[in-house]
Amino acid sequence: MIKLKTSEEIELLRIAGAITRDTLELVGKNIKPNITTKELDKLAYDFITSKGARPSFKNYNGFPASICASINEEIVHGIPGNRKLKEGDIISIDVGACYKGYHGDACRTFCVGKVDPKVKKLVKVTEESFFEGIKGLKAGAFVGDISHRVQNYVEKHGYSIVRELVGHGVGSKLHEEPDVPNFGRAGSGPRLNANAVIAIEPMVNMGERYVRFLSDGWTCVTADGLPAAHYENTILITDNGVEILTL
């Protein structure tokens, strides 16, 4: 069952969303060659806790860090460590902030220095597919309406959608109902009523859609080793449209 949020809950979700957004902005400004993903993780942790919140991901099902830092062919859930970024990399930073029991969740893919134009296009199309997915979205729409729009946009540009991982509801739990796939049929899936809060997060591969998971139990990579990008925001469904809580 999709839990609709009260006005009090929505206000807390707005604050959590703003902290999440500002964390991504701060981390993004510090992305450069030779910085380690562990250093970026510390920046995020220090900022989130300075705002009276806690990192949603840290210790979530055993995840050891405040951000997921996924480089190049890593799609999602990369664990921060001593790896240094280098010129030409792309890195997806996924982060959540929990404020007074309510979560924000968002991701951006950043370019490190000068990046191959083909890879930059992948990053751009992934971000655009999110906005394509929410076009015309308002109370009464179906989850499948989002899924269908995202998939169509991505595949029209010659890329593929990851199917093993999906978006989700957000609230007092980081992951709530419903699942929000990035592929599917318009008019299918649960109906979205006003005051539903969901995270929409296209995960897009340059090559084929197939993935594999590394032995760390977390990191998901493209099976063909080609780059992937990820873009996510938490949104509130309203009678007239959507409010993006993490932008």
Residue ranges for the chain with pLDDT beneath 50: none
pLDDT for res 73: 98
Residue 1: inside a domain = no
Q: How far is CA 89 from the centre of its chain?
A: 18
**Encoded tokens for 161:** 């959608």
pLDDT for res 157: 98
pLDDT for res 191: 97
pTM of the model: 0.96
Strand partners, 191: 142
- CATH number of the domain at 139, please: 3.90.230.10
pLDDT for res 192: 98
**Encoded tokens for 143:** 């989850």
Q: What letter represents residue 225's amino acid?
A: G
**Distance between CA atoms of 226 and 42, rounded to whole angstroms?**
28
Tell me whether strands 167-169 and 203-205 are parallel, antiparallel or unpaired: unpaired
Q: Show Cβ contacts of residue 203 under 8 Å, excluding neighbours closer than 6 positions.
A: 75, 76, 126, 161, 162, 165, 182, 228, 229, 230
Residue 160: inside a domain = yes
Residue 79: inside a domain = yes
Residue 2: inside a domain = no
Split into its structural domains, the chain has a count of 1
Tell me whether strands 176-180 and 160-161 are parallel, antiparallel or unpaired: unpaired
**Encoded tokens for 7:** 């006005």
pLDDT for res 111: 98
**Which DSSP helix (H) or strand (E) runs through 74?**
strand 74-76
CA within 13 Å, CB half, 13 = 28
CB atoms within 10 A of CB 191: 15
**DSSP 3-state of 106:** strand
Residue 15: inside a domain = yes
Per-residue pLDDT of 68-94, as tens digits, reads: 999 999 999 999 999 999 999 999 999
Could you list the residue range(s) of the whole structural domain that residue 84 is in?
A: 7-244
**Encoded tokens for 67:** 């951000």
